[in-house]
């Protein structure tokens, strides 16, 4: 297995007085795509925010073998790109300016964007099929258009490690398929992708699946492993079934009367 791109040893994480995460030890190998899944409120976003260094936790997170706190801020921001769930802000910015924010860690202080920055922004907009949105303000976009612009901002960072919380929110099926192709291309190019997904059928296409339930890591394994499927079924109270369909794993909701 590849050396870990990220290693999270989190004894606990709290929001206010409430303990959200309990004893999570997760090593995410480089050059793979890991999906983090689990029921609503399980702690997936909290875990991803701890891994990104956005939420303090009791424990340690290593990025490429070095503690997050030991990275120079700009170098870390070039290495670890982040897309949060329901991100707000920047409403008055044009889409192209939002995507240019992804270039900030590459740019000299107060310097104008370079040709390379413009090329990266243009490529990211093209990959997310939102070049035609570049002059529109974020506030004027639909949910799916906005999400594609924010994904383009993430891509413009050209980071080795990408963290995404519910990246498929508001995306229609063609754009979900584009996102999937983009993730596969990133991973083929050596990047590490970690995405929280509530679309189980997408998550089952990731290389690895980490199952979070009630603030604990209950399983971490390959997408086709029977133990991974059992852990998913258990985390969702026996209310899903996982079947192979045309070479892919498909999770189907089960009626309560069929639950085990
Ligand atoms: P998930 O992403 O798996 O749906 P979260 O990590 O967002 O779950 O939340 C985990 C738990 O923490 C939930 O019970 C949620 O209600 C709680 N929580 C999240 N954010 C806050 C907050 N700002 N204040 C209080 N509780 C929160
Ligand atoms: Mg969440």
| CA 72 / ligand 1 centre spacing (Å) | 29
Which residue's CA lies nearest to atom 14 of ligand 1? 41
| CA 3 / ligand 2 centre spacing (Å) | 27
Least confident of 109-113, 114-118, 246-250: 109-113
pTM of the predicted structure, to 2 decimals: 0.95
Average pLDDT of the residues of the chain: 95
Q: Distance (Å, rounded) from C-alpha 124 to C-alpha 158? A: 9
CB 141 within 8 A of CB 92: no
Residue tagged 């995410």 (tokens): 28
Q: Which atom of ligand 1 is nearest to the CA of 44?
A: 3
Residue tagged 């584009």 (tokens): 178
**pLDDT tens per residue across span 4-58:** 999 999 999 999 999 999 999 999 999 999 999 999 999 999 999 999 999 999 9
Q: Distance (Å, rounded) from C-alpha 27 to C-alpha 227? A: 18
pLDDT value of position 123:
98
SS3 193: strand
Q: Distance (Å, rounded) from C-alpha 147 to C-alpha 34? A: 20
| CA 241 / ligand 2 centre spacing (Å) | 23
Give the pLDDT mean for 193-207. Answer: 96
Q: Which atom of ligand 1 is nearest to the CA of 47?
A: 6
Which residue's CA lies nearest to atom 1 of ligand 1? 41
pLDDT value of position 242:
95
Can you say whether the dihedral through the CA atoms of 104, 106, 109, 113 is positive or negative? negative
Which residue's CA lies nearest to atom 11 of ligand 1? 41
Residues within 6 Å of ligand 1 by CB: 15-16, 18, 20, 38, 40-46
Q: Which of 39, 43, 87, 218 to mutate to test the pocket of ligand 1 (most atoms within 8 A of CB)?
A: 43
CB 161 within 8 A of CB 6: yes
Q: What residues have CB less than 8 Å from 207, skipping those under 6 apart?
A: 32, 33, 34, 187, 222, 223
Question: Maximum distance among all alpha carbons in the chain?
Answer: 63
**pLDDT tens per residue across span 43-84:** 999 999 999 999 999 999 999 999 999 999 999 999 999 999
Q: Distance (Å, rounded) from C-alpha 117 to C-alpha 98? A: 13
DSSP 13-65: EEETTEEEEEEEEEEEETT-EEEEE-STTSSHHHHHHHHTTSS--EEEEEETT
């Amino acid at each position: 297995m590849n050396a870990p791109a990220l290693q999270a040893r989190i004894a606990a994480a709290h929001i206010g007085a409430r303990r959200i995460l309990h004893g999570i030890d997760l090593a995410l190998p480089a050059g793979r795509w890991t999906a983090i899944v689990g029921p609503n409120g399980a702690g997936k976003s909290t875990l991803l925010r701890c891994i990104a260094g956005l939420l303090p936790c009791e424990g340690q997170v290593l990025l490429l073998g070095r503690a997050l706190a030991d990275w120079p801020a700009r170098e870390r921001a070039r290495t670890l790109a982040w897309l949060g769930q329901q991100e707000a802000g920047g409403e008055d910015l044009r889409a192209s300016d939002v995507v240019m924010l992804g270039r900030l860690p590459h740019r000299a202080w107060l310097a104008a964007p370079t040709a390379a920055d413009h090329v990266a922004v243009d490529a990211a907009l093209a990959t997310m099929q939102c070049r035609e949105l570049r002059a529109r303000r974020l506030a004027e976009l639909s949910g799916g258009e906005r999400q594609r612009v924010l994904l383009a901002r993430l891509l413009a960072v050209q980071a080795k490690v990408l963290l995404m919380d519910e990246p498929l929110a508001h995306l229609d099926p063609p754009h979900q398929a584009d996102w999937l192709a983009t993730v596969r291309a990133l991973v083929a190019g050596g990047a590490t992708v970690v995405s929280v997904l509530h679309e189980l059928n997408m998550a089952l296409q990731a290389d690895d699946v980490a199952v979070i339930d009630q603030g604990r890591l209950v399983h971490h394994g390959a997408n086709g492993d029977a133990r991974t499927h059992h852990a998913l079924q258990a985390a969702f109270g026996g209310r899903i079934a996982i079947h192979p369909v045309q070479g892919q794993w498909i999770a189907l909701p089960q009626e309560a009367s069929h639950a085990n």
